[in-house]
Amino acid sequence: MKFFFPDSQDLVDPSFDFDTEKRKETRIRQRDDLYAHEVFEKPPYDGMLVSMAIVHGTGGSTGRYTLGQQRRFSVEGAREFLRLPKGLELIGDCGAFTYVKEPVPPVSVEQVARFYEDSGFDYGASVDHIILEYDPQWDRPLPGTKPVPEDCVRRQELTIQLARDFQKLCRQQKVRFEPIGIAQGWSPKSYSKAVSALQKMGYKYIALGGLVPLKSTEILQVLEEVSPKLRPSTGLHLFGVTRLDYVKEFARHSVISFDSTSPLTQAFKEDRENYYGPERKYPAIRVPQVDINQKLKNRILSGEVSQAEAFRLERECLEALRDFDRRSFRRLELIEVLNEYQQLYGSTRNYSADYEILLKDRPWKECPCAVCRKLGINVVIFRGAERNRRRGFHNVYVTYKRLKHIRGKARTL
């Protein structure tokens, strides 16, 4: 089973100095920065997934790329732009999550196909419209249960029609990428129906969309309904799903690939599970920047907190952490300093107990990845994109290592 890592311009600046917190002045975004596959000796994924919505934006959204980057992406091609090593594959999709609230997708089949073709993708997904509701009961309606909402049915029909148009266009234009058909549904049976329709159109690679909010067992129920109808040559992709504990079951149901950003985003979006250790996940240590943390900024502007005091404590925290890593600062004192700063910036959460476990375990000392080797304790500090994103890269590395381990044990994956 292959793991694709979605691109959303997540790069780190190698010129960033963790002591002075400055970067090279001449640094040019993206060109001088590094992708996760450039940070580690070996890429921590089998390929990348790039959404048209991230590059160009769709409808109202503007995308993450500057106009200059958009231009270079289409002229150089995705592979060269992302500096993707040989052997890694590229899936393109349209990024349906960005227009989920609109009545119809704001992109046309032609636009999307041109985007894939011009940028040189290996696989290109059809245009889809996410179905927001899911309820297995709709498969066995009892008297009195409400019927399937019209909007769900409409979105599925639209998605199937767009997949048909897409397949036709790809054949006409003899495109170089392999088309992927996307199935949307609201229950196991409805997914199965969509997948069968796509298979009939000639799709050999079919992706299931809209699974992100589902529980792992629900995803399995969908797969159990879908897989019996698959031809041996058909493979499935799961959009936005990393459930390593279920990889073996998924594989049994013809899943050949998935993609997910969650190992990266957990590094800075989760409350307590920011750093993936070998046994458990740890919270990262919060040391926000005085000049960026909004809460603290407001307290300074209102005169509630002295800026000098805030700067002093911030610096004290960072120095204490550094000293702790060199074993010249004690754990309990460190936690005390961290708490003092936390009170200043007004966080109501108490992380002391979690910090204590993290500082006792020192998991970053054990990790062989390039990030942990280079950053030391900085990798577990929750602070600014350069630290947070590198911690995310570490999580991606750990995830991929685990996946490879599972794959190694079961040869059929």
Binding residue for another protein, selected from 97, 246, 311, 329, defined by CB under 8 A: 311
Q: Does 271 bind another protein (CB under 8 A)?
A: no
Binding residue for another protein, selected from 64, 114, 248, 407, defined by CB under 8 A: 114
Of 233 and 294, CB closest to another protein? 294
- Residue in 93, 118, 323, 325 annotated catalytic: 93
Footprint on residues 329-348 left by another protein (CB under 8 A):
343-344
Binding residue for another protein, selected from 2, 129, 297, 387, defined by CB under 8 A: 297
For 145-161, give the DSSP string. PPPPPHHHHHHHHHHHH
Binding residue for another protein, selected from 307, 316, 354, 404, defined by CB under 8 A: 307
- What are the distances in angstroms from CA 381 to CA 283, 332, 360? 9, 17, 15
Of 24 and 269, CB closest to another protein? 24
Cβ 67 to another protein, closest distance in Å?
6
Question: Pick from Zn ion, another protein, none: which does 137 bind, CB < 5 to 8 A by kind?
Answer: none
Q: Which residues contact 268 (CB under 8 A, 6 or more apart)?
A: 274, 284, 382, 388, 389, 391, 392
Span interacting with another protein, options 18-26, 133-141, 202-210, 277-285, rule CB under 8 A = 18-26
Query: How far, in Å, CA of 86 to CA of 31, rounded?
Result: 19
Of 271 and 309, CB closest to another protein? 309
Of 68 and 213, CB closest to another protein? 68
Footprint on residues 37-96 left by another protein (CB under 8 A):
56-57, 62, 66-72, 74-76
Cβ 78 to Zn ion, closest distance in Å?
28
Cβ 304 to another protein, closest distance in Å?
5
> C-alpha dihedral over 244, 249, 254, 259, to 10 degrees?
-20
Phi/psi of residue 303, nearest 5 degrees = 85, 5
For 35-65, give the DSSP string. -HHHHSSS-SSSEEEEEHHHHT--TT---SS
In the block, which residue shows the tokens 């030391």? 376
- Rg of the chain over Cα atoms, rounded to whole angstroms, equals 24
- What are the distances in angstroms from CA 319 to CA 36, 150, 172, 174, 334? 28, 59, 63, 60, 10
Chain residues binding Zn ion by CB under 5 A are 367, 369, 371-372, 394
Give the angle subtended at the CA of 229 by the CAs of 183 and 204, to the nearest 5°.
55
Cβ 368 to another protein, closest distance in Å?
34
The answer to whether 339 and 352 are in contact (CB under 8 A) is: yes
In the block, which residue shows the tokens 């245009």? 127
Polymer length in residues for the chain: 413
Size of the site for another protein (CB under 8 A): 38
Q: Which residues contact 230 (CB under 8 A, 6 or more apart)?
A: 195, 199, 236, 254
Whether 93 sits among the annotated catalytic residues: the reply is yes
Query: How far, in Å, CA of 373 to CA of 379, rounded?
Result: 9
Binding residue for another protein, selected from 9, 15, 61, 108, defined by CB under 8 A: 108
Span interacting with another protein, options 40-48, 277-285, 289-297, 397-405, rule CB under 8 A = 289-297
Bridge pairing between strands 281-282 and 285-286:
unpaired
- Residue in 259, 271, 291, 323 annotated catalytic: 259
Q: Does 196 bind another protein (CB under 8 A)?
A: no
Half-sphere exposure of 162 (CA within 13 A, CB side): 29
Question: Pick from Zn ion, another protein, none: which does 71 bind, CB < 5 to 8 A by kind?
Answer: another protein
Cβ 387 to Zn ion, closest distance in Å?
13
Q: Does 17 bind another protein (CB under 8 A)?
A: no
Of 29 and 168, CB closest to another protein? 29
Residues that are catalytic: 93, 259
- List of residues contacting another protein (CB under 8 A): 20, 22, 25, 28-29, 31, 56-57, 62, 66-72, 74-76, 108, 114, 118, 290-291, 297, 300-309, 311, 343-344
